[in-house]
Chain A
């Protein structure tokens, strides 16, 4: 049987009582000490038998609960410095000199130091007294000229020093003068910033402070309290639910990978199989199998990361022969295809580069599908591609592409649009622009743009199309319609992560990674 007894019922309590229940032990101690008029913090912490920091924190909580008003004033306080404290005991040096003069009327300057004044004190004392016109210097002697009653009176400086500490603001004009004088002398006085905190009760605070603050509330629920049923019939102190906890961060997947997983799931929901492959590829798969002429600009160094001093291998002769034929002209397709009409060079095909698109994976998969004669078939890939590009906000030299192919006798252009529109919709893009495009390996071809609201321009996401017979015939021996696409992926997701610059994608700024929101589409 479940125990249905509860902690003391909270029903029917009024607002003020609720407030009392939120008070921590230290707040309970402080509250009765407070008055309707302002008290300063030192007297409060003294009376509440706590240290100042604890008291201040508790007062802050009380303020949040509307029980007190805290008045903070920054003040400049004048207090005695090290020398000042010493002179308070031993008197100022000019006083000591004056006292001696009162006895002797005249002292040789060279004897001043015998009075226990150091050289500096002697010099200053003479200066000060001369300025006050109570002494004169004649033939190396100090002669008293002021009258004795006058010199017996305390100087303004002495009076000020004895009155310290004082609020700088509270000094009278005459005292100000003395202050300036003393300040010009070493370490007699100093000015410090002091925060003066004073606290008074609000009307609500006054009311609450008179209520019963003695009730024993449970502070921390402990295993012991649970076990011994000590909680029964007792109240728990109410917590201030508005207070945030200390910041914590969790471990998580990299945001690009979170989005990648989601995109992969979109393709899989549509029945696509994943294809993967190496990041380095031969020209054969990256370009030649995709009917990209060997003198096409993309195959030049300035656009592609070619690998130094490594020569790749070509696949078996049959496919090489077919691809050569496609390039040189002579593939049978309702008559002979013209190809690129040049001499295709095996060595150019063996050059290794970092893949410039994931379409090389599609080319390889196409060959497998053709060999197994297993289609209709739908494949996708999501992976890194590389371009030897100068990097800016919308261009990275490493970026992800989301690749797909559909091999089906009945595949058509409308279906190509169907897959793409559906994918982009699930990625959060209701509005995309599809326009004609050009790729050596597709016909018809298209480009997909999305509108970038911040930069106010259409952002090219990449292309799609239907593979040309020059691509499909070397693989299948005849033209089988293949839908193919490979839009850039990083540009698609930068908006969702509020990334303005593609350069931030792989920067691994840990603070940003920790703060980065989770992918939720």
Chain B
């Protein structure tokens, strides 16, 4: 069976690497970027089944990227998981297509994998 594809967008490359490692280990196909501008190109090229992202991104910023994703019919349905250490509530981000919010300071790698599995289920 073909593994689901996850795009990781995180401004800190070492943190992004941790997310990527956890997801690859769980069997997902993973690509990652640290910049909101390149993220949109990567979405077009990689066609992810889910997106894991931070909110404080280099370039256009996380909210702009979420808005951009929502504005196209082919990307609006891609489930998004936000990993952030800032105080942000899921309800605030639901209009932007976000299905899960994880606290990047408290979560464990398994939490991230479980969240991706649940949005893909």
A and B: partners? no
Interface residues of A (CB under 8 A from B): none
